[in-house]
Structure 1
């Protein structure tokens, strides 16, 4: 696919070939699989997608944050080709191989914290979360897990329980566990206490310690798991002093702090890990999504004494850390490390443009983000902050028709998030932002 300076739409959206494939989708794929688009992609390079009908789109969705290094990076493609010819899979626990160790070494060296670390390499984001939580519970010998409102931590039973949004993620699945507590996140635009930062004094943070008197004693609490910027919950960015305050609570009461970097990490905020923005080192970090440019892999990285506590065989996986995914990850990490300055540059462009849009369009209630991890929250009225759910859906559909792929998120499905590949050229980024700006004028 040739690099184009703007999208190219040659058919109605979706085109005839996509519509035919959609008929097969409806016939063979469960309706409960949530779908954001009815176009079918044929090819993708960099920050561009081409569908089966020849339409070209700018990708602001990035496979839900999976392709920070861009679609099909040549270095990754070449490394995977070479690895495939040598070794596809043996199962690291059966017959180990070097590339698994090299990736673990790299992850331990780049994650925040000067302490000794070890890494478990596995398959998916939620598997990284599951392992992080069970390691923390084993290490502390305590039962209770603290999570937050608006959180998203995956779709397994534990992942759904930790996740906040009921529909569509949890409803009907009986996704509730006894040993969990939940507190408000620092969602300043919709403060649960009706206060404003900084005069609030971080009321939501102090609520945790207040809860120790009436909900669970801190001696029962094993872990607090938190996203440094909430992803599916609406790209919610806490004040810069909130995360350090959370770290202090964990230190005071000997609670393990798990930092879920699955969407916010791997350069997404202009730093390798989002938590670096707050100057905090968590005890355990989970990574996935953009770690390997779309190849299935994740990791749980933590303090060595925590990672070593479980009995032999207590941690394990069949497919985790496949040689192919490991080499893809190593090459992807190099690309992201070398591109952090560019990521910061495009982050400045994105936030500047979004704030300009907010001045022009009454429907934009809030603009928030760090670096290129940014979002618009759409509302019917800026005073009441009534969520503009249908208007947000319409914006996504209309952008799609003009050659821009976007994604919604948020508890009320009224947030447009930007997950553009971090390698996007500034000119192409501006074209995508122009499309969004133009489309916002049409939303009433």
Structure 2
């Protein structure tokens, strides 16, 4: 396809350039420090894999909005669809005045998510809200309260999802108290622990049985590929053993695919590489190419 911006890197000023520096001064005067950035380079437009900053520098976009713009910037088909929708209808609350597109998204998700059973989706505002709703669904379904997540996990920055997130900094430091009945359990980290998937699963299960009790657990949350935790991929066989343990103990198995899912690993969802079908899937980011849509 033809791109409106050449697909190559080109610098015409120092980085950051003078216009970015001026915007940074305005930002410091008006934007909360809580909205931090890794680079104070301000973007103006983009196409494909290239972003153009306010000073005219062309930069390769390696961040993709943290896995959001996976089909590139300003794709003409996406831009045309967004413009057509904006001209037709911008917003109604689906639970008050529903519309077809919501239904179409749910139908498509039923096609591409793992499993051949009947499926249903709910669309919410963010990945963290998707995780919180998965917690509510699992607790309501099981009548239990305990939520498990893996060491090195990242599930979000709301109060509940911070409790499910493993590392103390920068997400959790000084942010407590957090909701109770949320526990981190050992994961499979073959690069560091040297364990097979089955051995690592046995360690996880022993920890659950020793410290918590499987009969108390509502849901087991797992990122099939941990992103913020260091790109950790469990050893083969780990999730199959955990899936069996969840089945044997009436625990809802949740695949948090918000970062890794939506075609980023060669399958629609990364859990498919493990031959495991989850009970619930949370997905976001790449599903909408940067536009609002979070199931």
TM-score w.r.t. length of structure 2? 0.96
1:178-327 residue pairs with structure 2 within 5 A? Answer: 178-191=180-193, 196-198=194-196, 202-299=198-295
**Number of aligned positions between the proteins:** 293
Mapped partners of 2:212, 2:70: distance in 1: 39
User: Cα gap change, 1:252/1:166 in structure 2, threshold over 3 Å: closer, same or farther?
Assistant: same
Unaligned runs of 5+ in 1: 300-444
Give 3-state SS (helix, strand or coil) of 1:26's partner. Answer: helix
RMSD: 1.4
Could you tell me which residue of structure 1 aligns to residue 66 of structure 2?
64
TM-score w.r.t. length of structure 1? 0.64
Give 3-state SS (helix, strand or coil) of 1:258's partner. Answer: strand
Mapped partners of 1:243, 1:175: distance in 2: 31
Could you tell me which residue of structure 1 aligns to residue 137 of structure 2?
135
Mapped partners of 1:266, 1:157: distance in 2: 26
User: Cα gap change, 1:59/1:284 in structure 2, threshold over 3 Å: closer, same or farther?
Assistant: same
Report if aligned partners of 2:185, 2:208 keep a CA contact under 8 Å in 1: no
Mapped partners of 1:187, 1:59: distance in 2: 29
Deviations 1:367-403 (A, max 9, x none): xxxxxxxxxxxxxxxxxxxxxxxxxxxxxxxxxxxxx
Give 3-state SS (helix, strand or coil) of 2:218's partner. Answer: strand
Give 3-state SS (helix, strand or coil) of 2:46's partner. Answer: strand
Unaligned runs of 5+ in 2: none
Q: RCO higher in 1 or 2 (8 Å CA, sep ≥ 6)?
A: 1
Could you tell me which residue of structure 2 aligns to residue 122 of structure 1?
124
Structure showing the higher strand proportion among its residues: 1
Could you tell me which residue of structure 1 aligns to residue 46 of structure 2?
44
Deviations 1:152-187 (A, max 9, x none): 101111110001111110111105222012112222
Report if aligned partners of 1:160, 1:175 keep a CA contact under 8 Å in 2: no
Report if aligned partners of 1:68, 1:266 keep a CA contact under 8 Å in 2: no
